[in-house]
Structure 1
Amino acid sequence: MQALADWIGLPPSLFMISLAVAFLAGAVRGFTGFGLSAVVMASMVVFLPPVDLIPICFLLETTASLVMFRGGFRDADRRMSLTLAAGSAVGTPLGLLATTSIPSEISKAVALTLVLALSVFQFFKVNLKLFEIRGALSVTGIVSGIATGLASVGGMVIALYVLGTAHEARKMRASLVLYLFASMAVSFVALLYFDVLNETSLKRGIALAPAVLVGVYVGSRLFSQRLQSAYKSFCLGLLIMLSCAGVLRLFLT
């Protein structure tokens, strides 16, 4: 354990915490189809800066996407997922460009507050009819890309849109899985362009990947017919919790 901790540049205690976080994040991803990066960010930002966590999250998301892809492609609303991914590819550079003129704290607060408000509305079944507007699918993809560039919360925007559809739980989850898989290429190019995918992050991603795989397996097993009825409420609750945690972290730092 000590040798592995030294290899990834973390004390053994923090490495053990990271493994636990990776397992939890994988379980959340396995059950909901999203949330891995948000859980990792919310938990590990205490001892690792976001710039170090972003490539780790990418590697762990890639690991989860590869093992979940088959079910995601089979059950997903492919048109919706791929359109959202295409829109995100357009919006992400815009968000990254905007970071040069907007303070990151403000952009994150705005994005997280928006996700929080819309999640609460959905949780309490307040129908804003935002998802019935013509062109909402493409606009949501672009907005999610901008949110990714500004505050790394694009996945939460997509999850919010998918949860607002009338699809059954299995199709919602699969659509999120397919979207994240399709978005990997854009994320990879962005990470290379901004030179944040380095050797240390690669080692950490490799070391934490097994814990994520176990978590994904556990989460996927929990996604049973009996629990699917609670899927939407659980996901909306997760979005609310993660949004609150993000906003609180901004105010406390």
Structure 2
Amino acid sequence: MIEALLTSTDLTGQEMAILTAIVIVAGIVRGFSGFALSAIVMASAVIILPPVELIPICWWLEMSASVLMARGGWKEADRKIVLGLVIGSTIGVPFGLMLTTSISPDLSKLIVLLLIIALAVSQLAKIRLPFLATKPGLYGSGFAAGVATGLASVGGMVIAIYVLSQDAPAAKMRAALVLFLFVSSLTTVIALLWFGVMDGAAVARGLTLAVPTTFGVIMGQRLFIPRFAAYYRPFCLSLLCALAGSALIRTQFA
């Protein structure tokens, strides 16, 4: 059974164990913060697999988490804004995938880790861009999120910057992120199939790791305490910076 699983996923037992631990932690963070699942997986697992192989895995993980969390997002999020973001994202994803599939694994790792750190730091600094509150800003943010998804499956972090510019309540921001990640996943899979990165091994890895991810998300939802909501985002972003920084050092100076 285990041998067949490892064969289908093209992973060693040690790699599978490490990835399982990573997705459980990422699922917990996604459960109580509403974002950062893929970013944490990318920042941690990029030392095991190149980004182009992690992107389709993250799709399965995000879809699993979104199915559990989409109901709350649908009720609380501004659906017109989410639709505009999804349209922009759908256009942007192929551009990100085009770059990811055309550069070397080492360069893609460097780009992914620097992108994660830059996005996390910008959110920690609470950078607000007034332009994003306009209609061009809406679709432009969606497009940028799509490119980031194609590059590193971190489109949700770009959307977080957009939502931050709206001065929206924390619950509404979390709901918009959750709903965006769910709906955009449905359109992103088309691009993943078109570029051939969603192959048999990716499907096997994604389905296998979706189980511990779901467990982590459920744990994270139970850990969510409204009065501590203000502390979740800084904690998650600081964790991302630490993980991405550590992986950057290991990949560039090992």
TM-score band w.r.t. shorter chain = 0.7 to 0.9
What is the match of residue 74 of structure 2? 73
Following the alignment from structure 1 to structure 2, what is the Cα–Cα distance between the partners of residues 170 and 201? 33
Instruction: Indicate the larger mover: 233-242 or 170-179.
Output: 233-242
SS in 1 for 2:209: helix
Greater CA drift, 94-103 or 182-191: 94-103
Q: Percent identity of the aligned residues?
A: 46
Indicate the SS of the match to 2:226. coil
Give the superposition deviation at 1:180: 0.7
SS in 2 for 1:167: coil
Indicate conservation of the 8 Å contact 2:126/2:164, yes or no.
no
Structure 2: tracts of 5 or more residues without a match: none
Residues 135-144 or 115-124, more deviating: 115-124
Residues 118-151 of structure 1: CA deviation (Å, up to 9, x unaligned): 6545534555534345532121111222333345
How far did residue 152 of structure 1 move? 4.0
SS at match of 1:161: helix
Q: Which one-letter code corresponds to 2:189 in the other structure? A: F
Q: Which residue of the partner structure matches residue 201 of structure 2? A: 200
**Change over 3 Å in CA distance of 1:142–1:107 after alignment to 2:** farther
Letter in 2 for 1:75: E
**8 Å contact kept, 1:76–1:174:** yes
Q: Which residue matches 1:216?
A: 217
Instruction: Describe how 1:162-173 pairs up with structure 2 within 5 A.
Output: 162-173=163-174
CA, structure 1 residues 103+13, in 2 after alignment: closer, same or farther (shift >3 Å)?
closer
Q: Secondary structure at the match of 1:17?
A: helix
User: Where does 1:82-231 land on structure 2 (aligned, <5 Å)?
Assistant: 82-97=83-98, 116-117=117-118, 119-125=120-126, 127-133=128-134, 135-231=136-232
Match of 2:23 in 1: 22
The residue type paired with residue 181 of structure 1 is F
Deviation (angstroms), 1:100: 8.0
Q: Could you list the per-position Cα deviations for residues 34-60 of structure 1 after superposition, in whole angstroms to 9, with x for gaps in the alignment?
A: 211122222222222323222211111
Secondary structure of 2:143's counterpart equals: helix
RMSD: 3.1
Shift of 1:9: 3.2
Deviation at 1:237, TM superposition (A): 3.2
